[in-house]
Amino acid sequence: MNHTQVQSRPVLETPPPEPRLGLGPVGIAVRAVVAVGVLFGANFLVAGLFALLMAVPGLEGSLTENPLAATVASVLLHACVLTVTVVAVRTWMRLVERRDLRDAGWRWTRHSAGWLLLAILVAGGLVVAAIAVLPATGPVSTEADVNSASILAFGLIGIVSQAFLLQAIPEELLYRGWLLSTMRTRPVLAIAVTTLTFTVIHLASNGGQTSFAEQLIYLALPFGFSLLAVGMQLWTGSLWAAIGVHGGFHLGNTAAMLLLPQVDPVRSWIVIGALHSIVGTVLIVTALRRGRHVGPGR
């Protein structure tokens, strides 16, 4: 009996559509400017809304007298910044990049929580370790003194909310999510552009600088944890690892301020930035040599 062998034809995958904006120098520059605009625009928009609310008679006094209400209001405002950023990035991804927001790493998997926690511990641990070995210049900050467990709890909620909802998640979605994934075919350029643009925007940060020289030295911090965020993301394939690095940096700063003696701030910026840069560079180099892909998800 003759058997007819049926050969299945290979299924050809449809290549993803090309972005409407190219990835040449102009396209990259436009994206960098848009990222800055989205970040500052979201913050200014929410700050404007907050100013309007504070103009309501009696509301400011109520928030001052009620720690719970003040904490809730703070968390809601931070969540608004995150929401505006997510909507803006999603819109840009669909209209310009012609890709889904998930392609920028905006997804939660069974490994996300583990990578997030690990990155928080690594980044925060480096901050605490650096400050712990620096010579003290003063006692533990008086801000560590609290008279009420509830006030402490509300304060911690506000700190975590600011670290993640206001700073880590929206900023990492923009830089280690959207921008990095868009340039994934040119990994060295992608890392350089996202790290440098992310660092430069922190010239607008107020971290206790008293001169332009200190403003420049302060950039060691965002430069360092930006490299660490890329390195962690390369090894894990998760945007949440980058988010953990960013948020862990801020939580580590808070923990060190509350638990350790005061140190010279300029020296701490240099040491903390150097530690993050070294660890981040080692992770990046080893990951690229092992063929890890730039951008979230593999």
If you average pLDDT over residues 158-183, what whole number do you get?
95
Nearest to 246 by CA among 267, 221, 217: 221
* Domain boundaries of the chain, sorted by first residue: 25-289
Q: What angle do helix axes 67-92 and 149-161 make, rounded to 10 degrees?
A: 10
pLDDT at 1 over 80: no
pLDDT at 13 over 80: no
The C-alpha atoms of residue 95 and residue 279 are separated, in whole angstroms, by 37
pLDDT at 10 over 70: no
Using alpha carbons, list the distances in angstroms from residue 113 to 13, 19, 107, 116.
Answer: 32, 31, 11, 5
If you average pLDDT over residues 181-189, what whole number do you get?
92
For the stretch 244-294, pLDDT in tens is: 999 999 999 999 988 899 999 999 999 999 999 999 999 999 999 998 888
For the stretch 97-108, pLDDT in tens is: 999 999 999 999
Q: Is 121 exposed, middle or buried (0-12, 13-18, 19+ CB in 10 A)?
A: middle
The C-alpha atoms of residue 244 and residue 147 are separated, in whole angstroms, by 30
For the stretch 26-69, pLDDT in tens is: 999 999 999 999 999 999 988 888 788 777 777 777 777 777 88
Asked whether the beta carbons of 146 and 259 are under 8 A apart, the reply is no
The C-alpha atoms of residue 295 and residue 105 are separated, in whole angstroms, by 8
In this predicted structure, what is the pLDDT of residue 68? Answer: 81
In this predicted structure, what is the pLDDT of residue 286? Answer: 96
105: enclosing H helix or E strand: none
In this predicted structure, what is the pLDDT of residue 93? Answer: 96
Asked whether the beta carbons of 159 and 153 are under 8 A apart, the reply is no
Average pLDDT over the chain, rounded to an integer: 88
Percent share of the chain, pLDDT over 70? 90
Identify which has the larger pLDDT, 228 or 144. Answer: 228
Write out the two tokens for 38.
């989205």
For the stretch 145-157, pLDDT in tens is: 555 555 667 788 9
Using alpha carbons, list the distances in angstroms from residue 212 to 203, 209, 263, 266, 272.
Answer: 9, 8, 20, 12, 20
Angle, CA 239 vertex, CA 238 and CA 243 arms, to 5°? 125
In this predicted structure, what is the pLDDT of residue 156? Answer: 87
pTM: 0.90
